[in-house]
Structure 1
Amino acid sequence: MRTIFLLTAAVAASIGGCSAVPSREPARPAGDAGRDAAVAALMRDYIGRVPGASVLVLHEGRPLLRRGYGLANLEAATAATPQTHYRLASVSKQFTSAAVLLLAEDGKLRLDDPIKRWLPSLPAACDAMTIRQLLSHTSGLIDYEEVMPHGRYDDGERQMRDADVLRVLEGQNRAYFAAGRGYHYSNSGYALLALIVEQASGRRYAEFLRERIFLPLGMHDAVAYERGVSEVAHRAYGYSFEQGRWRRTDQSPTSAVLGDGGVYASIDDLPRWDAALYDDRLLSAASRRLAFAPHTPTDQAEVEYGYGWRITGETLWHSGESIGFRNVFVRWPQRRLSVAVLSNRNEPEPYRLALKIAELYLPDAPIH
């Protein structure tokens, strides 16, 4: 579930800068028909009897493009549509962050709480780690993917869950660096945040997201998916291109971990989420400022990290990869523009594709 991103153009590192767009872009077409044709050309590899994608362009809260390409299910020949629900992978982290911030607003937890206040079984190496550091990947916590038990999850049936991440980390009395003294992208941290949400709220993590975020915003089919507990409406299944053909690779041993990547949503859900990030309908202005503030540099010179959001120039974004899925959600809040590309395939990563699509819809305001 690691997030993979590739940035190849230099950009400003401050919120007021401009975000990168690859060079040598085609001329921007005029009119809706021209833009539609240009997007279709960009999406040509997703069209036909292949794993597909759903693409959203929002401007001033209005969908300028909401369209599916290719197939959500190859075996059933089910087309990808705006209603198709994809596993968001690490794009899910923004929902985990929002859940923590809601509980902080409720007075149920404090961002500077030591994580062992809520998860006391963690080893001594975690004594100084705080919730705030988990949110910004500055805790130094060990990656659970690196220390998973060999053989236990290799049969394709058993999967790790957030509680299993805790159990694995209980045996890791070490850290990558002293808490707060570095940056290391951490799926472990967001799995533990989901458990802290459960402890502080008294609700299962998936229930908390549904009751406090998804239903209030009208994201009725969005779900933190739990096999045997919930279902995914209009579900896309993930595929990987192997030995010259597409093979279904929908689930991995870590796909059941919710806090770092377990949310399924559609491009018809994302406008409701996007709208809530501009006003107080979900989070207070103070909480939104915390989520969108650059708390730490990352291992990419152009990118800083907030709480569940990457920050590159004026953009707030996150990409997500899981076996068989590649997604990105990019926002230009100052321009009231957002672009999402959700796909059910292992490649390519869609970050630069989203930037190319964005340029088509702001012909008088270049974003590079």
Structure 2
Amino acid sequence: MRTLFSVLLLLALVTPVRARSAEVRKTPRSAPAAAMDALLAGKFRADQPGAVVLAVKEGRTLFRKAYGLASVELGVPVKPDTVFRIASTTKQFTAAAVLELVEEGRVDLKAPLRRYLPELPAGWAAITVEHLLTHTSGLREYSRAPDFRMEEPVTPAGLLARLEGWPLEFEPGTRFAYNNSGYILLGLLVERLSGQPYETFLKEHFLQPLGLTRTAFPTHGELVPGLASPYSSGPRPAPVVSPSPAGGLVSNADDLAAWTLALHGGKVLSPASLQVMTTPFHLKDGQDTRYGLGMRIGELHGQPYIHHSGDNPGYHVQVAALPRSRVAVVVLMNGEEGEVSPEFLAKRLAALAIGQPLTEPTPSVVSVEVLQALVGRYRSGDAVRTIRLRDGHLYSVLGEGPPGLIQPLSPTEFFFPDNSDLHLRFTLEAGRAVAVTRLSDGGSPQVFLREPAESKP
């Protein structure tokens, strides 16, 4: 089974601030706004954890709306200015901090990390600053340690103690493997070279000059005014992940849109630094990773689509930009019900903002006999996905969540009509599914293996 898992995963992967950001201006309701409203209709229930959605073009707000509850227990609704933990969307702030140090001549992206942090293990000599920024360092992901507890504060010293006994998982620059360990070390690099705490550097160089008053790096356990509570499926209260330069900022939609427009508008970094940040890194074999420095690099209707997600228990975020069209989209969620994806929503909102809606896939026809061979219960770690057949259609149930209709693109690949960027690909042996891989646009594949002794779904 371990060999099968490996094969399936391999197949699935195939300057300082120069001016205050422009004020986002509101505009009357438009055709794009109506289409965005229709897209979001029914996605979030009024009595469940919710979301904030914001779309801005050329400094004007096209769409700004809140859904659901910020506190389910207290019945407090989400508001358009509600604050969320933005998880890994923090990485672009960390990357921008490093690039500002590059502009000041304090760091060289191509230099070995140990030039600046000599206390690091000798076995990391080949790791450059760039490798950390691009998730190509070969460092082990600290959260995979058996004794990892997400609520425990993460310090550079604690991280080093955890990592120094582990060998690199691959030669730096030869593979892409999303990695939070590297960004925690980048936070240490910023502190070492600037002589300031990480949060102070961000505040003085980015947050205050840009007027981002609702963005902060709170300490572990610190109260955050206006913060939405996080919920896992159920809904149930979700644990709070300890903050770090890999994912510790809190913010709201307005601040994130202002940051995005300022960054891509040349008000944060020099043109040369911004170009480096938004250019995909290539591995030693020439493979395009589709990842720059703290940014995922895609394409939408012939123009660069720059985006990044943030995912912590109960918090799911997507911040996206179409720089040529001066479009910024922000989706912030505080729940995990169903298969609603901020990545899916942001991409379609961006397309609507430029008047070019995306075309959704058309289902193919597959026999009931073929569908029956896919029915079963599949597991990936603690996550269980059950595939059920009802009235000639397949449904996917993740954990105790609601059933979600999936429709065929082929006999072995299916999509969710409410989130067509999310696919389930089945692997067959002797005509029967033995595994199903969850594939999402810009996300990592997740392989679920059929449970050998399963109860009837």
TM-score, length basis structure 1: 0.81
For the residues of structure 1 that align with 2:184 and 2:85, how far apart are their CA atoms? 16
Match for 1:50: what amino acid? Q
Match for 2:277: what amino acid? A
After TM superposition, give the deviation of residue 207 of structure 1 in Å: 1.3
Q: What residue number does 1:353 align with?
A: 345
For the residues of structure 2 that align with 1:164 and 1:39, how far apart are their CA atoms? 46
- Give CA deviations for 1:256-276 in whole Å, capped at 9, x if unaligned: 241111111101102320221
**Preserved contact between residue 239 and residue 249 of structure 1 (Cα < 8 Å):** yes
For the residues of structure 2 that align with 1:267 and 1:38, how far apart are their CA atoms? 16
Pairing partner for 2:207 from 214, 217, 230: 214
**Preserved contact between residue 55 and residue 340 of structure 1 (Cα < 8 Å):** yes
Distance 1:161 1:51, change over 3 A: farther
Q: Determine whether 1:246 maps to 2:235.
A: yes
Q: Secondary structure at the match of 1:50?
A: coil
More strand by percentage:
2
- Give CA deviations for 1:41-60 in whole Å, capped at 9, x if unaligned: 52423230211101110111
**Preserved contact between residue 162 and residue 192 of structure 1 (Cα < 8 Å):** yes
Q: Determine whether 1:103 maps to 2:96.
A: no
Q: Determine whether 1:288 maps to 2:270.
A: no
For the residues of structure 1 that align with 2:259 and 2:197, how far apart are their CA atoms? 21
Distance 1:318 1:38, change over 3 A: closer
Q: What residue number does 1:331 align with?
A: 321
Report 1:252-291 matches (<5 A): 255-291=241-277
For the residues of structure 1 that align with 2:106 and 2:288, how far apart are their CA atoms? 35
| Structure 1: tracts of 5 or more residues without a match | 1-30
After TM superposition, give the deviation of residue 224 of structure 1 in Å: 1.5
After TM superposition, give the deviation of residue 367 of structure 1 in Å: 5.7
Q: Secondary structure at the match of 2:43?
A: helix
Q: What residue number does 1:203 align with?
A: 196
Q: What residue number does 1:12 align with?
A: none
Pairing partner for 1:167 from 154, 161, 165: 161
Q: What residue number does 2:51 align with?
A: 53
**Preserved contact between residue 217 and residue 243 of structure 2 (Cα < 8 Å):** no
Q: What residue number does 1:5 align with?
A: none
Distance 1:112 1:48, change over 3 A: same
**Preserved contact between residue 136 and residue 174 of structure 2 (Cα < 8 Å):** yes
After TM superposition, give the deviation of residue 316 of structure 1 in Å: 0.5
**Preserved contact between residue 195 and residue 205 of structure 1 (Cα < 8 Å):** yes
Report 1:90-169 matches (<5 A): 90-147=88-145, 149=147, 153=149, 158-169=152-163
For the residues of structure 2 that align with 1:56 and 1:296, how far apart are their CA atoms? 32
Distance 1:205 1:92, change over 3 A: same
TM-score, length basis structure 2: 0.66
Q: What residue number does 1:184 align with?
A: 177
Question: Identity over aligned residues, as a percent?
Answer: 37
Distance 1:63 1:162, change over 3 A: farther
**Preserved contact between residue 225 and residue 258 of structure 1 (Cα < 8 Å):** no
After TM superposition, give the deviation of residue 318 of structure 1 in Å: 0.6
Q: What residue number does 2:310 align with?
A: 320
| Structure 2: tracts of 5 or more residues without a match | 1-28, 360-457
Deviates more, 1:33-42 or 1:93-102: 33-42
Match for 2:187: what amino acid? A
Q: What residue number does 2:224 align with?
A: 232
- Give CA deviations for 1:136-193 in whole Å, capped at 9, x if unaligned: 111111111122536xx38x5x333444223211222x11211122211111111111
Q: What residue number does 2:37 align with?
A: 39
